Structure 1
């Protein structure tokens, strides 16, 4: 019998959410970061890197809730000043400066206060397509002079949320979550559409991969220059390319996915084509997914696998981790499939996108696929996903699975009875409702971020529901008497 946690049982135990409360109330977080940045050795090292690389400009960057990246450009000779003073942004920058249908700026309006982003020196990288430019990620804080909250981590910084969630997870369980993502994207340009017979997939064909050779060579070259250990790639469907890099800690994997997206957009500009991470560009072809491949590590031992259990592959720890993910798969859909278009993947029959809460042995129709290599392949996230939010929710769900020893039931494909665990939301509107109703998922995010995400997604859903499209004319213009 599958035992999913109830809100009552969650409240009775120490959780990641309780650990995060303390981290978000830490007024000294800014001071510690500032002290590390202004250490004389750090300043000297950064000035040396700038001088030796010939960098003249630096992008100080933060990922937004919508998985974009915002930045300010500063001449590189100000590196010491920026390490100390940081960069100030309008608070609504992290909600993509999105205006609601009613005309107000979501996230506090024009009156919203600024926040300060302190650079992270170890994220300094030179852009390979223009070596005069470098980039650095920043961590966002409430300005130190603000009463009460001054110096605390900013609640809507999704990148810092993932880092703090992983720290809390490791403190509670002594384990590290590692991840590898499989981002697919569609390229559009002359000669990029793969050739195949009717009703035959163009996937894997060398001829079609050759069509993409200038693109994949340039993407891989730039990616390797920016620290991604590229391992393989293939042609998936019409104009669709998937390139993968080596798995690592979830924080590094999320940063690399953001970096990879930037690289792909740059290559598209240089090649004179367009490239999109839109989850479902066309009917009848594969959508752009972004499967998350997860493993749990105690030091250098992967505790997810069970070598003595070749039939099911996963350990008891692995089963509980899967149980936690399945228990909150429905509630986390608003994050994993975050756009209106995301749900078109689940309506197109036969395109390998899961629709039910399930797990299986090497099953590409299950929500979670278990292979013989010791990893969980979580197949819901699509190419538009914010990887910081998706991994933060997975950590919270896995943590609950481990604490409450949640049983995921029997896997599909094992010849054992399988329990029906329910269906995934099929629209963004339904996903918003389920997000609200799942207490663990909702409280895995700080309150300010949670409410802002709901506001952004409700506005997107309302815009879609109110839009008059060609479909409406095709269905109703002549047919209604």
Structure 2
């Protein structure tokens, strides 16, 4: 037994842990949990814990239902919100078939496969997300819609306010779990907040994002409010994105940095951006996976609607932030399209795959967008060659359906399930009779 497993078993005994939750996600990114007794942990490490995968949407086909959850000891954490009564721990799991093969539809495995491909090319992949969400007074709402906990705005300081106390408790809890937080502040919408996680490798970060969402929900419940990562809960206020800064490293060297180059951005960095732009439409059904996601992308308020890049241009899909002099390790790019409801394992796998494709095929980066893309007319955008992101989930699914890159990265089973699930979601959405239709048409037609 390796040192990490031994550490977990020793900590469980020393801390009096009563339950250990085994965590994994389905294809959509919903966190799943299976609790085992401490006495079962050693066996889980060596043999896995069996479960019926057919009941988890998209995880397996009915005739391949038997799966095993293998906890990753490096992800072990004591859950602080469980307190001292019946202390509880959790670990993320890798899912396998009974013969020990990685389950092809395990989202964590999809990301690990893509990271292995990057490693073969000599790269490691790091990400740093800015996660936005809304705090509401209640999860239920009447005819007026959901009600935010405050009417504050961007960077507002609200002494004694719910959001201020909420962020403080959330950050403390995240730090207790070993998840480093870089910033936290009130965002632009009423009740909207942002917490930024410090750089980590993409697999650890995807795990951290899933833990982050759980922490935010738990703290909200504790404080008598409701937290939502819905991309656009209010028509009149900004949506919630998950702007992700990313970089590739070759050993200890930042592959995106080149001294003396424009914006200090290397050829590898330029090709990576070109890959993100070229395949942006194809991966949108995963980076923006819900019907509601497209109301954020096309609702204004700094969400990117067109496939462009720029230096410090917040209307661009991909931004090259200002380089910090003397800190080559800080050279990075920022993808502003992904929203807070994305499955981080699948989204980061596709973003990495698109960037790697740009490097492999030596894509040429188009001219940067120096102007505010939102302020241009349609004719001006066409003249400049600015292609639009999908405007609906239906359009995004159609773009994904023809993508070799997405099919290869996700694998046949995940690819097929995402297409099926998203077509079903759009059909259900399209069949609804909305309050808008009733309000504007019932009396006049």
TM-score scaled by structure 2? 0.89
Counterpart CA distance in 2 for 1:68 and 1:352 is 27
Q: What residue number does 2:26 align with?
A: 64
Counterpart CA distance in 2 for 1:234 and 1:61 is 29
Matched, 1:138 2:93: yes
1:112 Cα offset (Å): 5.5
Match of 2:111 among 140, 143, 162: 162
Contact 1:313 1:372 in 2 (8 A): no
Return closer, same or farther for 1:188/1:414 CA change in 2, 3 Å cut-off.
Answer: closer
Any residues of structure 2 matched to 1:59-208 within 5 Å, and which? 59-95=21-57, 108=61, 113-131=65-83, 132-144=87-99, 151-171=100-120, 173-189=121-137, 192-195=149-152, 202-207=153-158
Counterpart CA distance in 2 for 1:163 and 1:219 is 28
SS in 2 for 1:206: coil
Q: What residue number does 1:228 align with?
A: 179
Q: What residue number does 1:316 align with?
A: 267
Return closer, same or farther for 1:208/1:362 CA change in 2, 3 Å cut-off.
Answer: farther
Matched, 1:214 2:165: yes
1:90 Cα offset (Å): 2.2
1:264 Cα offset (Å): 0.3
1:95 Cα offset (Å): 2.1
1:375 Cα offset (Å): 1.3
Any residues of structure 2 matched to 1:208-357 within 5 Å, and which? 210-236=161-187, 237-309=189-261, 311-349=262-300, 351-357=301-307
Q: Which moved more, 1:41-50 or 1:263-272?
A: 41-50
Match of 2:431 among 458, 462, 466: 466
1:468 Cα offset (Å): 2.0
Q: 1:358-404, CA deviations, whole angstroms, 9 ceiling, x for partnerless residues? A: 00110110000111132111011101011111111112111111111
Over the aligned positions, Cα root-mean-square deviation in angstroms equals 2.1
1:207 Cα offset (Å): 2.9
Unaligned segments of structure 1, at least 5 residues:
1-38, 98-106, 145-150, 196-201
Contact 1:392 1:444 in 2 (8 A): yes
1:142 Cα offset (Å): 1.2
Counterpart CA distance in 1 for 2:192 and 2:270 is 33
Matched, 1:448 2:413: yes
Contact 1:68 1:96 in 2 (8 A): no
Contact 1:209 1:235 in 2 (8 A): no
1:253 Cα offset (Å): 1.0
1:290 Cα offset (Å): 0.4
Counterpart CA distance in 1 for 2:396 and 2:77 is 37
SS in 2 for 1:331: helix
Stretches of 4+ aligned residues off by more than 6 angstroms = none
SS in 2 for 1:62: strand
1:121 Cα offset (Å): 1.5
Counterpart CA distance in 2 for 1:169 and 1:43 is 27
Counterpart CA distance in 2 for 1:384 and 1:291 is 12
Matched, 1:370 2:320: yes
Counterpart CA distance in 1 for 2:107 and 2:148 is 38
1:320 Cα offset (Å): 0.6
1:81 Cα offset (Å): 2.2
Contact 2:297 2:337 in 1 (8 A): no
Return closer, same or farther for 1:343/1:191 CA change in 2, 3 Å cut-off.
Answer: closer
TM-score scaled by structure 1? 0.82
Unaligned segments of structure 2, at least 5 residues:
138-146, 324-330, 373-380
Return closer, same or farther for 1:326/1:208 CA change in 2, 3 Å cut-off.
Answer: farther
Counterpart CA distance in 2 for 1:306 and 1:95 is 45
Return closer, same or farther for 1:86/1:50 CA change in 2, 3 Å cut-off.
Answer: same
For these two proteins, the number of residue pairs brought into alignment is 416
1:154 Cα offset (Å): 0.6
Match of 1:434 among 391, 395, 399: 399
Counterpart CA distance in 2 for 1:164 and 1:438 is 18
Return closer, same or farther for 1:313/1:49 CA change in 2, 3 Å cut-off.
Answer: same
Counterpart CA distance in 2 for 1:50 and 1:211 is 34
